[in-house]
Structure 1
Amino acid sequence: MRVVVAPDSFGGTLSASAAAAAIARGWNEAAPGDDVVSMPLADGGTGFLDVLHTALGGTVHTLTVTGPLGEPVEGSWLQVGDTAYVESASACGLQHVPRPDRTPSVARAATTRGVGELLVAARDAGVAEIVVGLGGSATTDGGAGMLAVLGAVAVDADGSPLPDGGASLRRCVRLDGPVDLGGARLVAAADVDNPLLGTHGAAAVFGPQKGADDVAVADLDAALAVFADVLAAALGTDVRDEQGAGAAGGMGAALLALGASRVSGAGLVRELVGLDAALDDIAGDGAGLAVTGEGSFDWQSLRGKLVTTVARAAADRGVPCLVLAGQVSVGRREAAAAGVDAAWSVADDAGGVEASMADPSGTLTALAARVARQWSH
């Protein structure tokens, strides 16, 4: 049997490369005669740069930038020819905010300034195109921090620059200064298709995982609504309802307002890494299988994230697709509609979340071996 192993990262526990290695190791232990191809993927969020660098080569540039809480962090971008790939999560990702620090006040104040600093570095290198991977952010500032670094500063009625963070945008009246991208084209590689505002928007859907309680979510959504008006007035286009505007805490809205073209982050990586060719190779003889996975296979996964991108690509070729995830909350019917034949939870298999988190690689390997014994033929 030929098996393509193409997972995303598992939250903060395993990178996509480590997850692929663990799954492949377990599969090979249980079914040593199978031909297993590891193809770690990413959807625009954490791991975007690592996966693309492995597939495309190029030069990784690492620099100290402003983190989501204003502290210095190491951010990176990848140069391949005249294209720059920026992983926004490297500058403003949730990994920079320890779980105990994810509070409503932090959710209100987190900034995307570091992403702007990465864009400036790419711009100054003279690239023709900048692809921004969106996802995994700790921020809900609508990209205001990023815009400020690029030259367009959010100000209040007195003309004073607003403090960092999404909550202060409620007092925003305009953007002062033009954005300078040096003529580079922008591409927003979004991991989700959420709009900016409302029940499916940046604050409501993603705010809680960043520390926002119900009051903070309402405050941030109202502030982003004000900022959407400011963006429309300053940049000439209203993007609040566009798909992907809510990605990365609304950074997608700022990029779209700047004229960025939106692509699926997972779809872009799928193309650049060569997933389709790998699936073509195993399709047609009934002896091919795709295995993907992520930290939590939940309803957000069904809104354009990587596992469903892999599943649909496999389904298009008549290749069964399995999901091995840290936790699974998607029902069988919903999973089947997304092209997933079966899904397993590492936590369930290991006897609980704590057990799986204590040895994420080992428990994923054990689960892969158990699944291989069921599916290999």
Structure 2
Amino acid sequence: MRVLFAPDSFGGTLTAVEATQAMAEGWRRRAPHDDLVLAPMSDGGPGFVDTLHASLGGRLVAAPVSDQYGGETSAAVLVVDDTAYVEAAQACGLDLSPRREPEVATTYGVGQLIIVAIEEGVSRLVVGLGGSGTNDAGAGCLAALGGTAEPPDALTGGPRALATLSAVDVGGAQERMADVAVVIATDVDNPLLGLRGATNVYGTQKGLAEERKQLVDAHLAKLAELTDRRVADRKGAGAAGGLGFALMLLGGQRVEGVRMVSEALGLAQLARQADLVVTGEGAFDFSSRSGKVPYGVAQIAGEAIRPCIALAGQVLIGSREMRTLGVESAYSVVDLVGERAAFADPRGTLSDLAERVASTWSR
């Protein structure tokens, strides 16, 4: 029997690569003769580059860059043939710092990372968005790539600095990116502004107080009015605190992160060659339908007419909702060992769950 493992990361406990390995280790203990295919997945958020490197190979280019608060952090660009892959979360990810001050957080380091990618001479750049701790509409990224403003530091101090913005010119950044096709990989389809925009929908999880949202949204609107207000309304412009907006100003085209990674990995072909597809994530709930990995993988399994099951830290939906997502059955680590044990040993307990599930599905 051939089993394809294609999970996402498990929150802050396991990367997608680690989760895939843990599942495979447990499955082998119960079904050592099964043929296991490992294809860790991502939707463009944290782990995007590591996931692609694990499956595609390629060359990692180390790139020390600024994090969202101006400190130095280690990042890497993945180069595969004439394509470079950049993970925005490596430069401005929420998990890079315990600080939660989105009003002064900047995406400048993402621009630095993009420069490293361009200098590799690639013709195509894929930027994975997700898991950011910023909400500056990509202003810092624009500045790093050559955008200018009045006053000069208005683009580099987070949304609070945008309050002082009186003029902006992104021509230098656009010229720098002119010879590169930019792909924005994200599961987020929110616009930049308004009730469904970056600030109102994602500001709270980044530490933005409710009473500050209207003002911060107005700061982002000022940048949009001085560049191209129409771009702010596009799907995905609000991704990564508006970083999607900045990349769209530079010619970027949004694609669903899960679909992009699936195509890069040839997941559809792998699913057709498998007898069973196993996906998973930290918390499997109905929000998984919103561009998340399990739903994307289940769709691909369905197209291949292959059953798909999910292993998760927690399963928070019933069987009826599960099947609307295309998942036959879902299994929870917490239900197996309890929450305390699950967090104490995430890899070992996920492996134990996979071993138990193999007794049901392996033949």
TM-score where L is the length of structure 2: 0.92
Aligned position for 2:331: 344
Q: Select between 176-185 and 246-255 the one with higher mean Cα deviation.
A: 176-185
For the residue of structure 1 that corresponds to 2:112, the secondary structure is helix
User: Are positions 1:184 and 2:180 aligned together?
Assistant: yes
Aligned position for 1:370: 356
Paired with 1:299 and 1:231, the residues of 2 have a C-alpha distance of 37
Aligned 8 A contact 2:153 2:161 in 1: no
Aligned position for 1:278: 270
Q: Which amino acid aligns with 2:85?
A: Y
Label 1:214 to 1:263 Cα distance change in 2 as closer, same or farther (>3 A). same
Aligned position for 2:289: 302
Structure 2: runs of 5+ lacking an equivalent: none
How does 1:13-24 map onto structure 2 within 5 Å?
13-24=13-24
1:168-201 Cα deviation digits (max 9, x unpaired): 3344343135212252221111132222233433
Indicate which of 142, 161, 173 corresponds to 2:137.
142
Aligned 8 A contact 1:16 1:42 in 2: yes
Q: Select between 340-349 and 267-276 the one with higher mean Cα deviation.
A: 340-349
Q: Which amino acid aligns with 2:343?
A: M
Label 1:193 to 1:349 Cα distance change in 2 as closer, same or farther (>3 A). farther
Paired with 2:310 and 2:42, the residues of 1 have a C-alpha distance of 15
Aligned 8 A contact 1:135 1:247 in 2: yes
Q: Which amino acid aligns with 1:280?
A: R
Q: CA deviation at 1:341?
A: 1.9
For the residue of structure 2 that corresponds to 1:294, the secondary structure is strand
Aligned 8 A contact 1:26 1:366 in 2: yes
1:254-295 Cα deviation digits (max 9, x unpaired): 11122112112211111111211111112xxxxx21111122
Paired with 1:335 and 1:2, the residues of 2 have a C-alpha distance of 23
Label 1:160 to 1:68 Cα distance change in 2 as closer, same or farther (>3 A). closer
RMSD, matched Cα: 2.1
Aligned position for 2:96: 96
Aligned position for 1:240: 232
For the residue of structure 1 that corresponds to 2:233, the secondary structure is coil
Q: Which amino acid aligns with 1:88?
A: A
1:222-252 Cα deviation digits (max 9, x unpaired): 333333323316xxxx122322212111111
Q: CA deviation at 1:358?
A: 1.1
How does 1:171-320 map onto structure 2 within 5 Å?
171-178=164-171, 179=173, 180-181=176-177, 183-232=179-228, 238-282=230-274, 288-320=275-307
Aligned position for 1:164: 157
Q: How many residues align?
A: 360
Label 1:112 to 1:170 Cα distance change in 2 as closer, same or farther (>3 A). same
Aligned position for 1:78: 78
TM-score where L is the length of structure 1: 0.88
Q: CA deviation at 1:305?
A: 1.9
Aligned position for 2:55: 55
How does 1:106-117 map onto structure 2 within 5 Å?
106-117=101-112
For the residue of structure 1 that corresponds to 2:144, the secondary structure is helix
Indicate which of 318, 337, 361 corresponds to 2:347.
361
Label 1:280 to 1:358 Cα distance change in 2 as closer, same or farther (>3 A). same
Aligned position for 1:285: none
Aligned 8 A contact 2:39 2:55 in 1: no
Aligned position for 2:68: 68
Label 1:372 to 1:216 Cα distance change in 2 as closer, same or farther (>3 A). farther
Q: CA deviation at 1:160?
A: 5.7
Q: Which amino acid aligns with 1:117?
A: Q
Q: Which amino acid aligns with 1:175?
A: V
Paired with 2:87 and 2:201, the residues of 1 have a C-alpha distance of 21
Q: Percent identity?
A: 47
Runs (4+) off by over 6 Å: none
